[in-house]
Structure 1
């Protein structure tokens, strides 16, 4: 029996609730498909920060290095720890240390879930650059607290970083419907975004079977609202991808269905999987959080580990559950009830 070592970081708020729900479903799938998930739980969170002064220990990255994958529930408790501290103290260091440069977020409407839009149906895969760009952390502040204070945040786009995310996106488009849309703002950002556009055109010659479109971020926001069914694979920088994927989540019915994967494509280091709905401290521990995004993220983890049949089965079980009206309304069913229904559908 194949054994996979999984690092669990439940994190804050409902992260704990949805991590437990996901682990329950994935363990059931593992039993059905003949593999084992050996999990190690790490209490790194805002509570950890308040006790230790850091979001994870100094050797946290080295500790995670030996795992096959990392599963993250949610991070953040802004009333006690600023989001900039929790994000830059845990999530971003993991993404960068393990070269998880491809953030993959699927957006499609599950059976039984209502979209706020009138659409003929859509299935968008958003690929977001995950380790540089606008979130590189390059910059600083000087003359703080004075009238002359200056804050500088510098976006960093390297040829290596841009080429590899574009190539990853081209490969995803080739495996899907053969259409890639690259999103920039090159009419206003004449260095970084023009650079991105140029590299997209260079790589397009290596993928003659993929149709490429170029759109500005504002036009893309309108396209996702007006005609999401016309899109296939969308690739964007760290900031633009972050914004567009929350819009995609809204179109697919809300953040409760927003799954994601932070992928190290060459598999030399562990990838990380997480729902993107945040920690929602106000409903933590109340058994009312929708676990579907978290369980969907777990299905993506199984697929990445090579257990594609099990991953597909979990996603199919989610969709059969929502088709029955379970997990489709805020507060409609408890976390435990939705989890139990998905587990039952796995049979």
Structure 2
């Protein structure tokens, strides 16, 4: 029996509902593969912020540094500005633990119709590789003259050779294991310093990966092509901002952000990686028991894979595909009436 210690952060809103669903699936597949999990649960959330003035305690990172992985449900709540919840929890974890790869797989499943006509099951299967710790989401900048006509805000984008290179190398290596095709998201025709620098580094690293065919697309055109011809793409690498936008767009193309998983990876494994579904806390449906658990369950499969249990991860992904292809069980965001619990029970039968 292999055991893993997981830092569990259910967070806010529907995070409290989809995390138990994912844990139920992990227990089921773990029992079959000789894998067990112990969980240390943390109440880090917007509720904690409102009660205590901080999303997590001052020594929070030290508390989870020794875990094998971090599993996060969602953060965000009315009454707490999004930048407070993000910079109080997610970004410190991502940056202090060098989780510089944000990995977001996108797939159109058989039985789940995409709102995009040309997004067909079996043809759309791509991964967005997002730079996760620098780029446009830097801490450099500030505001002056608040409340006056000349008020201003400055936000600096930071692109480093080390940061771009390691992310792009990860993308090329991933593409080599998949269909051998990489697309780089850029905007170097309009952003005169950082994105030409990005382009230069992508070209440098491409020379080290001759087995991968690659091209680059300006972000505006890329968004259009991702809708018009989503089956074309395999691995897309992008900056922090571009990757963030593209992954949500691609998830919508695949049928909805409720099904989308994500991983914040430290590939060197010097620190724990963090796994979180894309959908956010969805306060409008929280507490009603109707949240779509697919994103969290698929995220759990990504965690299994990262922890070295590839076969178990594939079984979970296959169960998701089976439910969608062979049953009519759907949560409300996918046009059905199933509860979170109903969908999870059906998936366990397939598992």
TM class, shorter-length: over 0.9
**Alignment TM-score, normalising by the size of structure 1:** 0.98
Distance, in Å, in 1 between the alignment partners of 2:228 and 2:286 is 35
Q: CA deviation at 1:110?
A: 1.3
Aligned equivalent of 2:329: 326
| Deviation of 1:342 (Å) | 1.0
Q: Which residue of 2 aligns with 1:168?
A: 170
The 5 Å alignment of 1:24-43 reads: 24-43=24-43
Task: State the SS of the aligned residue for 2:315.
Answer: helix
Gaps of 5+ in 1: none
Residue from 326, 336, 342 that aligns with 2:341:
336
Residue 316 of structure 2 corresponds to which residue in structure 1? 314
Deviation at 1:331, TM superposition (A): 4.5
CA-atom RMSD, angstroms?
0.9
Q: Using the TM superposition, give the Cα deviation of residue 332 of structure 1 relative to its aligned residue in structure 2, in angstroms.
A: 2.1
Contact 1:127 1:235 in 2 (8 A): yes
Match of 2:98 in 1: 99
Give deviations 1:172-215, integer Å, cap 9, x for gaps. Answer: 10000000000110001111000000001111111000001011
Aligned to 2:5: 5
Q: What does 1:137-176 correspond to in 2, within 5 Å?
A: 137-176=139-178
Separation in 2, partners of 1:271, 1:72: 11
**Offset of 1:84 from its aligned partner?**
0.7
* CA distance in structure 2 between the aligned counterparts of 1:344 and 1:114, rounded to whole angstroms: 23
1:258 aligned partner? 260
Which range moves more in the overlay, 322-331 or 54-63? 322-331
| Match in the other structure for 2:48 | 48
Q: Answer yes or no: is 1:117 the counterpart of 2:116.
A: yes
Distance apart, 1:117 and its partner CA: 1.1
Residue 47 of structure 2 is aligned to residue 66 of structure 1: no
Structure 2 residue matching 1:283: 3-state secondary structure: coil
Q: Shift of residue 330 of structure 1?
A: 3.7
The aligned counterpart of 1:129 is: 131
Q: CA deviation at 1:143?
A: 1.4
User: 1:203-222 residue pairs with structure 2 within 5 A?
Assistant: 203-222=205-224
Question: TM-score, with normalisation over the residues of structure 2?
Answer: 0.97
Per-residue CA distance 1:213-238 (angstroms, 9 max, x = gap)? 01100110011000010111000000
CA distance in 2, matches of 1:111, 1:337: 20
Distance 2:172 2:139 in 1: 27
In the alignment, is the contact (CA less than 8 A) between 2:329 and 2:336 conserved in 1? no
Partner of 1:281: 283
Deviation at 1:162, TM superposition (A): 0.4
User: Which SS does the other structure have where 1:133 is aligned?
Assistant: coil
Q: Distance in 1 between matches of 2:335 and 2:274?
A: 27
Out of 114-123 and 99-108, give the one that drifted further: 114-123
For residues 212-268 of structure 1, give each alpha carbon's deviation from its aligned partner in whole angstroms, at most 9, with x where no partner exists: 101100110011000010111000000011111110010000011111100100111
Give structure 2 stretches of 5+ with no counterpart. Answer: none
- Could you tell which deviates more after superposition, 136-145 or 93-102? 136-145
Structure-2 separation of matches of 1:94 and 1:342:
31
Residue matched to 1:201: 203
The equivalent residue for 1:177 is 179
Residue of structure 2 in register with 1:23 after alignment: 23
Provide the residue aligned with 1:294 in structure 2. 296
Show CA shifts across 1:121-156 (max 9, x none).
311110000000001121111111222211000000
* Conserved? CA contact 1:107–1:252, under 8 Å: yes
Residues 292, 327 of structure 1: 8 Å contact kept: no
Distance 2:72 2:110 in 1: 26
Who is 1:246 aligned against? 248
